[in-house]
Amino acid sequence: MHQKTILKNGLRVIIAPMAGTKTATVLVMVGTGGKYETRETSGISHFLEHLFFKGTKKRQTTSKIAESLEILGADYDAFTSKEYTGFYAKTANFNFDKSAEIISDILINSLFFKEEIERERGVILEEIKMIKDDPPRYIGDLFEILLYGDTPAGWDFGGTPETVGSIAREQILKYFKSQYVSKNIVISVAGAVNETDVLREVKKYFGDFNGRDFKRKDPVKEKQEKPQVLLYNKKTDQTHISLGVRAYSMAHADRHVLALLGIILGGGMSSRLFTSVRGDLGLAYYIYSSSDLYTDCGYFTTQAGIDAKNVEKTVGIILSEYKKIAEKGPAAAELQKVKDYIKGRMIMSLESSSAMASFFAGQEILEGKILTPEEKMAKIDAVSVDDIQRVAKDIFKNEKLNLAVVGPLKKKDEERLGKILRL
């Protein structure tokens, strides 16, 4: 289904031909992000991602880069996280070589003009404000601040107004040279493509990445002895909560058990928490559970938007469901239902070339190994009722509980809410 090749300079190339599509996606993923930064350079990965679209030797303006991609009818974008940064272009398959050349141009030949850095600095400062003005989005950041505090794992990968406001061009160039090296890059191509043609084009356009070593990140150190609460006071009509526990990293053998547990509790309209909190009581418009896994840490959380007066009641219901599944586990039919759900969603999500390219690149850059969709589904099928209950018992413990809240609450409410964090 896919072919992996390692070039002489260490760059990894994954090619996934697909039948039934006429598109092709080239995705370049780099193993760097917020966790690779220092306090002084917090946000530099995201800043650099923006700057790649500001001008190269061949295309010296943002509009020239955009025009080159849009004339191909391309769907293109870039993204940054705490552990990786990515750049992609999806086009009709006969335009693959052109899109690959453009992506290589911005990554290898960007000029990082000083005036563009200053202009984009203002853009990113506005983006930081926008995220804090979006409570359903910011609550996730707040939960990680609660878990990991003043460490790279706890910092917003977008940085702060102070760090973004002071990052200099010299720091950006140094970071680029340190992290954007061939051994730290995966190129994933999926769609209506031929392996031989793709490998030839990749070697031609991406062969200039150097083979130096790169800076690794420090591992996350987990430590928690009692329940924790963190409030972010904001005048909102709806209060947003994230209630969860420390769990596993993506290398853990029970990662697929954790994923199924999330669907049972809050993964769809027939899930336990959706039924109880929204369907039966009408307390929330949205509520869902999920697991977020990194290479060196991970957590399980339930997020919901509710009226401020219903925070305690909703927290109590979530805790009750956590406790119930740890004590009794799921019914066999319930577990089979969520297995069918997750496998069906996986199959549908991988119909597009962009999703397929991401599926392979993400595994390779983060784990250094790849499971095919069929292998992942086999692991899901292997999860038992006892596995779900065992994992629930392991993670749902009082000392692991964490509650983050965005809404019109005061600092004094932290103590009150902390007292109800009991299973």
Average pLDDT over residues 376-391: 98
Alpha helices (H) along 15-79: 44-51, 62-70
CA dist 203 and 199 (Å) reads: 6
Domain boundary pick from 156, 176, 206:
206
Instruction: Compute CA distances 146 → 137, 150, 153, 193, whole Å.
Output: 15, 9, 10, 45
Answer yes or no: is pLDDT of 211 > 90.
no
Q: How confident is the model at residue 410, as a pLDDT?
A: 86
Is residue 285 located within the same domain as residue 377? yes
Percent of the chain with pLDDT over 70: 100
Q: How confident is the model at residue 15, as a pLDDT?
A: 98
Average pLDDT over residues 345-360: 96
Q: Which of 126-130, 173-177, 204-208, 261-265 has the lowest mean pLDDT?
A: 204-208
Is residue 87 located within the same domain as residue 235? no
- CA 384-386-391 angle, to 5 degrees, is 100
pLDDT-derived band at 198 (thresholds 50, 70, 90) equals very high
Instruction: Compute CA distances 205 → 110, 316, 347, whole Å.
Output: 14, 56, 32
Task: Indicate whether 267 belongs to any domain.
Answer: yes
Amino acid at 209: F
Is residue 180 located within the same domain as residue 283? no
Q: Which domain holds residue 171?
A: 3-206
- CA 350-353-354 angle, to 5 degrees, is 90
Is residue 241 located within the same domain as residue 277? yes
Query: Which two three-digit tokens encode residue 209?
Result: 């990445």
Task: Indicate whether 187 belongs to any domain.
Answer: yes
pLDDT-derived band at 210 (thresholds 50, 70, 90) equals confident
Alpha helices (H) along 350-412: 353-367, 373-381, 385-395
Beta strands in 154-227 (DSSP E): 185-191
Q: How many domains does the chain have?
A: 2
Question: Parallel, antiparallel, or unpaired: how do β-strands 401-407 and 228-233 relate?
Answer: parallel
Domain of 46, CATH number, reads 3.30.830.10
Average pLDDT over residues 193-205: 95
- CA 159-161-166 angle, to 5 degrees, is 90
Is residue 47 located within the same domain as residue 182? yes
CA dist 138 and 156 (Å) reads: 10
Is residue 156 located within the same domain as residue 239? no
Amino acid at 83: E
Answer yes or no: is pLDDT of 29 > 80.
yes
Task: Indicate whether 214 belongs to any domain.
Answer: no
Short-list 230, 278, 243, CA closest to 406: 230
Task: Indicate whether 373 belongs to any domain.
Answer: yes
Is residue 202 located within the same domain as residue 262? no
Answer yes or no: is pLDDT of 384 > 80.
yes
Is residue 12 located within the same domain as residue 46? yes
Task: Indicate whether 218 belongs to any domain.
Answer: no
Query: Using an 8 Å Cβ cutoff, are 343 and 263 in contact?
Result: no
Task: Indicate whether 99 belongs to any domain.
Answer: yes
At 188, is the secondary structure helix, strand, or coil? Answer: strand
Is residue 201 located within the same domain as residue 251? no
Answer yes or no: is pLDDT of 401 > 90.
yes
Q: Please name the residues in contact with 288: beta carbons below 8 A apart, sequence gap of 6 or more.
A: 266, 267, 271, 273, 274, 302, 303, 304
Q: Report the 10 Å Cβ neighbour count for 122.
A: 11
Average pLDDT over residues 238-252: 97
Task: Indicate whether 217 belongs to any domain.
Answer: no
Is residue 297 located within the same domain as residue 178? no
Average pLDDT over residues 108-136: 96
Is residue 256 located within the same domain as residue 287? yes
Query: Using an 8 Å Cβ cutoff, are 34 and 82 in contact?
Result: yes
Is residue 244 located within the same domain as residue 190? no
Q: How confident is the model at residue 44, as a pLDDT?
A: 98
Answer yes or no: is pLDDT of 1 > 80.
no
Residue 341 Cα to chain centre, angstroms: 21
Q: How confident is the model at residue 299, as a pLDDT?
A: 98
